[in-house]
Chains A and B, each alone.
Chain A
Amino acid sequence: MIKAVMVMNTQGKSRLAKFYEYLSVEKQQELIRGVFSVLCSRAENVSNFIDAESIFGQDSRLVYKHFATLYFVFVFDSSENELAVLDLIQDVLPSVFVETLDKCFQNVCELDIVFNYSKIHTILDEMVFGGQVVETSSSEIMKAVEEISKLEAASNAISLIPKSASGWRSR
């Protein structure tokens, strides 16, 4: 299963971190730092796989991909295929991001992730559920995400007035 998904910039600041098993905040930070220290020591043009046993314990590998100023990192155990996960990072994820954020991925920068934080989480939830990859077709993910945002917008528009009205009345 997938243990964690992280996005961090080249300075080691995490931009997205999702752990599929509960870890305390301190532990999470420790792991993020550990991962970053490994990542930044890696040269260019080497493989995207790292043996992460020293950071995450027994039976864990790490696959990362470097885009512009961001590292995308997946941590998982032996029940996943490294190349497949790498593909997930370098093809599925970008294409979904690109379509969602309505931009060319070359220009997707850290700030886009920061500002669309909940959206990114939604995408990730559609893709990886409870530590398992459930959806890999980017069009399916897109469909789901669009539907969600449409419904959310609709429900928001309806609930906006009574909500604020009730809030006002109770005051």
Chain B
Amino acid sequence: MKEYIIRLVYVEMLGHDASFGYIHAVKMIHDDSLLVKRTGYLAVTLFLNEDHDLIILIVNTIQKDLKSDNYLVVCAALNAVCKLINEETIPAVLPQIVELLAHPKEAVRKKAIMALHRFYQKSPSSVSHLVSNFRKRLCDNDPGVMGATLCPLFDLITNDVNSYKDLVISFVSILKQVAERRLPKAYDYHQMPAPFIQIKLLKILALLGSSDKQASENMYTVVGDIFRKCDSSSNIGNAVLYECICCVSSIYPNPKLLESAADAISRFLKSDSHNLKYMGIDALGRLIKISPEIAEQHQLAVIDCLEDPDDTLKRKTFELLYKMTKSTNVEVIVDRMIDYMNSINDNHYKTEIASRCVELAEQFAPSNQWFIQTMNKVFEHAGDLVNIKVAHNLMRLIAEGFGEDDDTADSQLRSSAVESYLHILGEPKLPSVFLQVICWVLGEYGTADGKYSASYITGKLCDVAEAYSNDETVKAYAVTALMKIYAFEIAAGRKVDMLPECHSLMEEFLASHSTDLQQRAYELQAVIGLDAHAVESILPSDASCEDIEVDKALSFLNDYIQEAIEKGAQPYIPESERTGMLNISNFRNQDHHEASSHGLRFEAYELPKQTVQARIPPASLASTELVPVPEPMYPRESYQTTTVPSVSSDAASTELKLRLDGVQKRWGRQTHFPSTSTSNSTSLKTVNGITQVDGSNTANSRTRETYDSRKQVEISPEKQKLAASLFGGPSKTEKKSATGHKSSKPSSHMVKSHAPKSSMEVASEKTSVQQPPDLLDFGEPTVKSTAPSLDPFKDLEGLLEPTTQVSSAVNHSSTAAVTKSPDIMGLYTETTAGAHHKDSDILSGLSNPPMTNMVGGTTTMQVAQSSKGPNLKDSLEKDALVRQMGVTPSSQNPNLFKDILG
């Protein structure tokens, strides 16, 4: 039987149905034989889940087995408890498990703790009174039990840091003891004392010490100790090191620890193992939040990882880049991201990277033009994966410009957008969201600058509507765009002649099944029939940004009502009065329920006190509205999500406000959303004499104001910076070093430093040849090392003259060249690195850079240049050189720095 059950488990693992045998597994756990029982438990834990019907048959056996004398039986039962006991059956076994916490066998104690941990995960309330047990078990004699206790404590601390601050001292002392090898030898592992316990403890300390200076101070010594003691040759040692870095980056920063963390990271990044590189990149991403400057020394390593064939590493690197994006390097990073996005097929990751691109572009866009182009690229390649909100944002941006006063810039932006879209429309297949944007922009601004005739644009729009005939949203957008173009034409007093294909399209739409399309087509027909004056008031040109007033009280119907009442109609009684005893919110709610479900109600009846609560949310909501929404681009969305719970708890008045809010915003920005008409009507209906409406409106407009002003502030410095650096696409290695210098660099120097770039292969050589004089002028402490290096340079130059290529020079059979060239490069990088650092030092110290600084500026440029040169080529020798360059500066930097600073 035992063999059969095991076969059955195996069969199920291979994906076949084995449910017929479940009952036999259940029977087996009742058996007296230990072997059979254990097999039964194994099978049961693999077969069943906690909600399976057969569980009822098991609970009793588990209870009995937990009291067994044989600890193996207890262990097997505990194993099953972890997997099979659900919330309702926890009380049945809980007392026994608590007893087992004091079991003489440490294996049982360990498992009992884990079972309690599992209960805590399933329903925290069921074991809340037992939390103190975890603390007690922390002092267990057996290190294994202590280590196991760290798991539940980690969870508990994650959920509530503050109530465990008192344990910091004990954790630190445990960690100290572990690090000092006080544990039994059995826990040593690759000469590391209990590394897994160390890792867990470091994780816990990281949680406890985050933004708590006092707690962090207790940890500094022990973490520093571990940094020193860790043996970085073994895998597990590196795991502990990595955990130390995580801990250091999370607790209150300590310069000394940060330094050793940076050292560890550079060791990770320099290693050949991809695993370690991965950890290094990850650690760098963590540390960069505290000390952004450490990324500079690792630029080359990061770039290497970006080029790496390993996908995981690449993704991690993109994550890092995402974290270190600034306005100065956003173009390079987003370009890289888009390139990568095009190269992968994984939809999940594509979505993620697309949304990141959009986020970065929105946050740091250096210019509108660039933003639109970037968005075009994102839409083109991942259009269907992008959130529709992004498209709306793009439309709004084109409509509003960047909130500048300069109208010509805006219109330029629009015409460039129109042009790019007309160009893109030539592509065979475009995502729906992108087409919507295109249609909208063409409709709004297609004819605005007079470059394209109305018939050309309308022809294009008709093409779109025909080509994507199964996408109704796109068609609706296209029709509306057509309507706008014709309206503008009529308003401008020009004669409108519809294209034949447009006519046929309209006829098709007039008979369409979709009421939305039909309505739009009829509207178009009606608009075309009107005279210029009327059309202008319906669809004024370039008015998409103007707020549209919504007469919520329907005052224009007053006359009609008056008339009706005079004729003897009943006056309107507000709903609240009609229902008498029920207040508004209740009635609304009931009404809603009746409308939605005539039959059974599946949701629980609300508690009576909730009607009282319903009064409270509106006030608090109004206040949240006034607070600037953290995410500038989606004020509406975030607002909506926060209020959803209160809406469901029958707060009708908040729901009302919410809807109005949405309507207002939509109408404010855009006139042509398919949904506006419906949401508008509902809001009109629900308004009836509620005064809060005005309040919400003003709050709403206020948030919009703050939002706009913030956006202006955000953009302007970036623009200035970009203007200051006329210099086009910054080279990829320059990314970091350029941030400080760009704005202060005089243009003449830029031209000078730019020159080597055009001469392709020789670039690195040339720069290095002109390098030494610069440095000598500079008069910095490493003159000695540069002076001898002059001769080798000449030598090298002599060698190079016939070939003028580094790679070939290195390949050259003369051994002198081979042995020398690395030396030269080493010296060279040393000196330039010195220059580079001095330069940045001066820059940070003085706001007005002196003459020498300009020289420094060029040298740094050349560093970037020369390091870029080899990087672009694939030849191995060059790669090696680059790597060496990447290695030497980081190790040399600190010393040079000290020299300079004295």
Give the number of chain B interface residues (Cβ < 8 Å). Answer: 68
B117 touches A16 (CB 8 A): no
Q: Is the CB of B346 within 8 A of A156?
A: no
Main secondary structure of the interface of A (DSSP, over half): helix
Question: A residues within 8 A CB of B36?
Answer: 159
Q: Are B79 and A125 in contact (CB under 8 A)?
A: yes
Given contacts A28-B13, A125-B79, 5 further A-B contacts (CB under 8 A): A32-B15, A91-B236, A152-B34, A152-B35, A159-B32
Per the bound structure, the CA–CA distance linking A96 and B33 in Å amounts to 26
Q: How many A-B residue pairs have CB under 8 A?
A: 159
Q: CA–CA, A148 to B273, complex, Å?
A: 39
Q: Enumerate chain B residues within 8 angstroms of A14, measured Cβ to Cβ.
A: 13-14
A48: B residues at CB distance < 8 A:
274-275
A51 engages B315 (CB within 8 Å): yes
Interface residues of B (CB under 8 A from A): 6, 9-10, 12-17, 32-36, 38-39, 42, 46, 49-50, 70, 72, 79, 82-83, 107, 110-111, 114-115, 117-118, 144, 147-148, 151, 154, 186-187, 189-190, 195-196, 199, 203, 235-236, 238-239, 242-243, 273-275, 277-279, 309-313, 315-316, 346-349
Is A83 within 8 A of B235, CB to CB?
yes
Q: A83-B242, A84-B236, A130-B117 are in contact. Are A54 and B189 (CB under 8 A)?
A: no
Distance A43 CA – B315 CA, assembled complex (angstroms): 16
Contacts of B46 in A (CB 8 A): 18
Contacts of B117 in A (CB 8 A): 130, 132
Asked whether A84 lies within 8 Å of B15 as measured between CB atoms, the reply is: no
Chain B residues positioned under 8 Å from A16 (CB to CB): 13
A17 touches B13 (CB 8 A): yes
Complex Cα–Cα for A26 and B13 (A):
10
Contact A43 B114 (CB under 8 A): no
Contact digits for A33-71, partner B, Cβ 8 Å, 1 yes 0 no: 000000000110111111101100000000000000000
**CB–CB B235/A132 < 8 A:** no
Q: Please determine whether B35 and A121 come into contact, CB atoms closer than 8 angstroms.
A: no
- A25 with B235: CB separation less than 8 A: no
B10–A114 CB distance below 8 A: yes
Contacts A135-B144, A137-B187 hold; do A46 and B312 have CB atoms under 8 A apart?
yes
Given contacts A22-B50, A79-B203, A152-B34, contact A118 B278 (CB under 8 A): no
Contact of B72 with A151 in the complex, beta carbons under 8 Å? yes
Asked if B39 and A118 sit within 8 Å, CB to CB, the answer is yes
Asked whether any CB of chain B lies closer than 8 Å to the CB of A87, the reply is: yes
Instruction: Flag if A134 contacts B186 (CB, 8 Å).
Output: no
B3 closest partner in A (C-beta): A118
Task: Verify A129–B6 contact, CB threshold 8 A.
Answer: no
30 contacts between A and B (CB under 8 A): A14-B13, A17-B13, A22-B83, A25-B12, A25-B15, A32-B15, A43-B309, A47-B274, A49-B312, A51-B316, A51-B349, A79-B203, A82-B275, A82-B279, A83-B279, A84-B236, A87-B236, A91-B235, A91-B236, A117-B9, A129-B148, A130-B117, A130-B118, A134-B114, A140-B144, A148-B72, A153-B35, A156-B33, A156-B35, A159-B34
User: In the bound complex, do residue A83 and residue B32 qualify as a contact, i.e. CB atoms below 8 Å apart?
Assistant: no
* Contact between A87 and B235, CB atoms less than 8 A apart: yes
Residues of B near A130 (CB, < 8 A) are: 82-83, 114-115, 117-118
Chain A residues, CB < 8 A from B10 = 114, 117
- Docked Cα-Cα span, A135 to B148, in Å, equals 8
- Given known contacts A117-B6, A152-B35, A156-B34, A49 and B275 CB-to-CB distance under 8 angstroms: yes
Q: Nearest Cβ distance between residue A92 and chain B, in whole angstroms?
A: 8
A residues near B49, Cβ cutoff 8 Å:
22
Do the beta carbons of A163 and B33 come within 8 Å of each other? yes
* B126 shortest CB reach to chain A, Å: 16
Most buried by A among B34, B238, B313: B34
Whether A29 contacts B15 by the Cβ 8 Å rule is yes
Report the separation of the CA atoms of residues A136 and B83 in the bound assembly, to the nearest whole angstrom.
21
Q: B237: nearest residue on chain A (CB-CB)?
A: A83
Q: Which A residues are CB-close (under 8 A) to B239? A: 81-84, 87
**Distance between Cα atoms of A28 and B13 in the complex (Å):** 8
* B72 → chain A closest CB, angstroms: 6
Q: Give the residue name and chain of the B residue nearest to A83 (CB).
A: B239
What 0/1 readout, one digit per residue, does chain A (71-93) give for beta carbons within 8 Å of chain B? 00000000101111011001100
Nearest first, the 8 A-B pairs at minimum CB distance are A83-B239, A22-B49, A54-B348, A47-B274, A155-B34, A46-B310, A130-B82, A159-B33
